[in-house]
Amino acid sequence: MSNPYLLLTPGPLSTSDSVKETMLRDWCTWDDDYNLGVVQPIRQQLVELAHCAADQYTSVLMQGSGTFAVESAIGTLLPKENGKLLVLINGAYGQRIAQIAEYLNIETATLTASESEWVSAEALRTKLAEDSAITHVATVHCETTSGILNPVEHYAEVVKAAGKTLIVDAMSSFGGIDIDVAGLNIDCLISSANKCIQGVPGMGFVIVKTSVLEQCQGNARSLSLDLYDQWQAMESGNGKWRFTSPTHVVRAFQQAMKELDQEGGIGKRAERYSNNHQTLVAGMKKLGFECVVEDEKQSPFITTFKYPQSDRFDFKQLYDRLKEAGFVIYPGKVTDTPCFRIGHIGEVYPVDMETLISAIEANIFWQ
């Protein structure tokens, strides 16, 4: 099952042939073959991947993109009265969480840093001490704006010491790096099918403390995105969804989960992604490219490179040439630095990074 190019993006990403092949069968959303054979095992496996006990955490699957799942969590976990959200922002996806909260008329505060820097844990501690109205804190683990990996373990320590609820957007990191959700006492973690699990777009999921979700009945500002109601339907109906399930996407996700296990689990996948990243960065530096994010803050999922200092450089021209060579890369999203991004997750290996470097070297037109 050939593809015209590799997607070197942070998702959607290149998937295995076996993941794609699972979507050739149709499924009934109300049949036990699907609900008991596909949905319920996925929910259990997600809790296990997060190092959580089944009697303390649950998982809820949600139709739509990762942003749908984020909005379902924000709109359901925050109470309609006496709730205030603090969002840590150093990129577009932190900004999006704040925008979601504002759309939902949730009182919101922010702490910001530049797109290549971390929000200070000390600043977070001070903010929580100064504003007792804050009840929930949201942070993005990997900001794909730049590829920075935020220190969620430091934030968790501060947030939990202050007695607040912690929401982590792990869209681009869950499944690609080990996250001890229970050990960090994270209340809610959100991710998507089409990222490091290597499924296809169309479904997000939320891993959440059962004790937290139990308190959320009636909080939701949306019928379709009511996380509590979706959870209740799946619990009482043995995996049934309230509304039409994206059956092909869910079955592909189950296959992707199987392939994650076959690869050796999150540790082995993280090792491959890290090797992809190291191969890419070493090759790009030899060609004169500079990274936007310093090494100690860089994730193994996507890397942002500054434009070469040449008036002749044109990203669209590079993009088109690389697409002809079999690679699709990503425009930059960092607002204060002209840049572009290259993802190294999905069904991608170090040899692919080497081939990409050769293609870039063969298409240097700006020197």
pLDDT in tens, 278-318: 999 999 999 999 999 999 999 999 999 999 999 999 999 99
Q: At what angle do helices 66-77 and 92-103 cross, to 10 degrees?
A: 50
Helices (runs of H) and strands (runs of E) counted in the chain: 13, 14
**pLDDT computed for residue 332 by the predictor:** 85
Q: Is the pLDDT of residue 343 over 60?
A: yes
Q: Please give the mean pLDDT across all residues of the chain.
A: 96
Note whether 210 and 57 are within 8 A (CB).
Answer: yes
Query: 1.20.210.10, 3.30.70.790, 3.40.640.10, 3.40.50.2300: which CATH number matches 18-261?
Result: 3.40.640.10
Q: Is the pLDDT of residue 1 over 60?
A: no
**pLDDT computed for residue 146 by the predictor:** 94
pTM to 2 decimals?
0.96
Closest CA to 304 of 275, 329, 332: 332
Q: Is the pLDDT of residue 274 over 70?
A: yes
Q: Is the pLDDT of residue 267 over 70?
A: yes
* 3-class secondary structure, 69: helix
* Residue ranges of domains in the chain: 6-10+265-362, 18-261
Element (H, E) at 140: strand 136-140
For residue 215, what are the contacts with CB-CB under 8 A and spacing of at least 6? none
Q: Residue range 5-18: average pLDDT?
A: 93
What's the distance, CA 134 to chain centroid? 25
CATH topology of domain 6-10+265-362: Aspartate Aminotransferase, domain 1 (3.90.1150)
**pLDDT computed for residue 335 by the predictor:** 81
